[in-house]
Amino acid sequence: MATQFEDSYHRKFYYLRLSITDVCNFRCTYCLPDGYKPTHKNSGFLSVDELRRVVSAFAHCGTSKVRITGGEPTLRKDFTDILSMIAEQDGIEKIAMTTNGYRLEKNAQAWRDAGLTNINVSVDSLDPRMFHQITGENKFDLVMRGIDAAFDAGFEQVKVNAVLLKDLNSGELPAFLNWIKDKPIQLRFIELMQTGEMDSLFERHHVSGVSIRNHLIANGWLMKVRGKSDGPAEVFCHPDYKGEIGLIMPYKKDFCDSCNRLRVSALGKLHMCLFGDYGVDLRDLLQDDAQEDALVARIQGQLADKKQSHFLDQGHTGMTPHLASIGG
């Protein structure tokens, strides 16, 4: 193994978040409220071969988990080929994806067979009308059938992401808890993050996850210990529930201390942080397998500059116009 990716704060990077497209077919109010609009001269998203070289370099430097994201990653026609390719890379133990669930019902089995090990589906509300209002799409039933299909295909647990939105879904905690009572779903509430293109939505709808945390602790939920390639959620379990609750609170002090992930965008830019000020182009080093040493060296060089924390709490959103642009 080449040298493990590590930054100057001794954080080790086991987890690659790989965006494979920034295209999306939903219009989530907090992400792409006006739908997808291409903003770059389309030089094309990374090909399967280019993606393979990214994953191979990361795997050789200690990465054991890859999350495929976007935009909506499953809109890529070669999505299954990408899964198979990642599954062939030595050292990659987990292949996860984050999806809006649009294609899950039809494809859950094929994706599992290709090597997908973990699924996160975004479901912001259990009320179909509220789901429509938040995502811009009347697809609640389709997404729910997708989650059932994932269980039928053999996934033992499905993670569900819900962005916490004051006055929209913030009163749904009882319904969500009831939903996961007998289902092995890890429901993860994500605090709304401010991004560059977001209008007053943040002021109107941001709400802290602390009240949920307090409610859980007061009602017998226990915090679980984090694994080395786990994401940033604080996860709680309860003896009476098959499901679990995760809380992702990026505005919490010390949130970045446990950072274990790096990002590569669909256009081949390395991002040290979701809210960084720049991305570093890797694409010129993704054209030939023989360039791997140079690729690793460029990534190592950037790690020295990784900041200790984002500055979200000071309203600094970096270069990120919305999370679909570099992969949330």
Binding residues for S-adenosyl-L-methionine, as ranges, are 30, 71, 122, 193
Tell me which residues in 43-102 interact with ligand SF4 (CB under 6 A): 70-72, 100
Binding mask 170-209 for ligand SAM (x = CB under 6 A): --------------------x-xx-x--------------
What is the DSSP pairing of strand 269-271 with strand 280-281? antiparallel
Strands laid side by side in the 244-248 sheet: 222-223, 234-237, 244-248, 185-191, 158-164, 118-122, 94-99, 65-69, 15-19, 261-264, 269-271, 280-281
> Are 50 and 265 within 8 A, CB to CB?
no
Which alpha helices (H) appear in 36-127, and where do they start and end? 48-60, 79-87, 104-114
Q: Which of ligand SAM, ligand SF4, none does residue 193 bind to, with CB < 5 to 8 Å depending on kind?
A: ligand SAM
Q: Which tokens in the block code for residue 242?
A: 């098959």
Query: Which residues contribute to the annotated binding site?
Result: 17, 24, 28, 30-31, 67, 71, 98, 122, 159, 193, 256, 259, 261-263, 273
Nearer to ligand SF4, 25 or 170 (CB): 25
Closest Cα to residue 189, out of 210, 162, 219, 169?
A: 162
Q: Is the sign of the CA dihedral 172, 174, 175, 177 positive or negative?
A: positive
3-state secondary structure string across 264-324: ECCCCEEECCCCCCCCEECHHHCCCHHHHHHHHHHHHHHHCCCCCCCCHHHCCCCCCCCHH
Judged by CB under 6 A, the residue of 107, 161, 186, 317 near ligand SAM is 161
Binding mask 122-161 for ligand SF4 (x = CB under 6 A): x---------------------------------------
Within a 10 A sphere around the Cβ of 8, how many other Cβ atoms? 11
Judged by CB under 6 A, the residue of 16, 18, 20, 28 near ligand SF4 is 28
C-alpha span between 141 and 231 (Å, rounded): 28
What is the DSSP pairing of strand 244-248 with strand 261-264? unpaired
Using only the alpha carbons of the chain, give its radius of gyration: 19
- Select the span of 21-29, 53-61, 202-210, 239-247 touching ligand SF4 (CB under 6 A): 21-29
14 near ligand SF4, judged by CB under 6 A: no
Q: Which tokens in the block code for residue 44?
A: 């094309």
Judged by CB under 6 A, the residue of 29, 69, 117, 229 near ligand SAM is 69
C-alpha span between 158 and 243 (Å, rounded): 9
Q: Which residues contact 304 (CB under 8 A, 6 or more apart)?
A: 7, 8
Q: Which of ligand SAM, ligand SF4, none does residue 250 bind to, with CB < 5 to 8 Å depending on kind?
A: none
144 near ligand SAM, judged by CB under 6 A: no
Nearer to ligand SF4, 52 or 76 (CB): 76
Closest Cα to residue 59, out of 117, 122, 14, 112?
A: 14
Judged by CB under 6 A, the residue of 86, 104, 245, 324 near ligand SAM is 324
Nearer to ligand SAM, 195 or 260 (CB): 195
- Select the span of 54-62, 69-77, 178-186, 303-311 touching ligand SAM (CB under 6 A): 69-77
74 near ligand SAM, judged by CB under 6 A: no
Judged by CB under 6 A, the residue of 18, 24, 104, 270 near ligand SAM is 24
Judged by CB under 6 A, the residue of 14, 30, 111, 189 near ligand SAM is 30
Torsion of CA 34, 125, 201, 217, to 10 degrees: -150
By CB under 6 A, name the binding residues for ligand SAM. 24, 30-31, 69-70, 72, 98-100, 122, 161, 163, 190, 192-193, 195, 323-324, 328
Which residues in this chain contact ligand SF4 in the complex, by CB under 6 A? Answer: 24, 26-28, 31-32, 70-72, 100, 122, 324
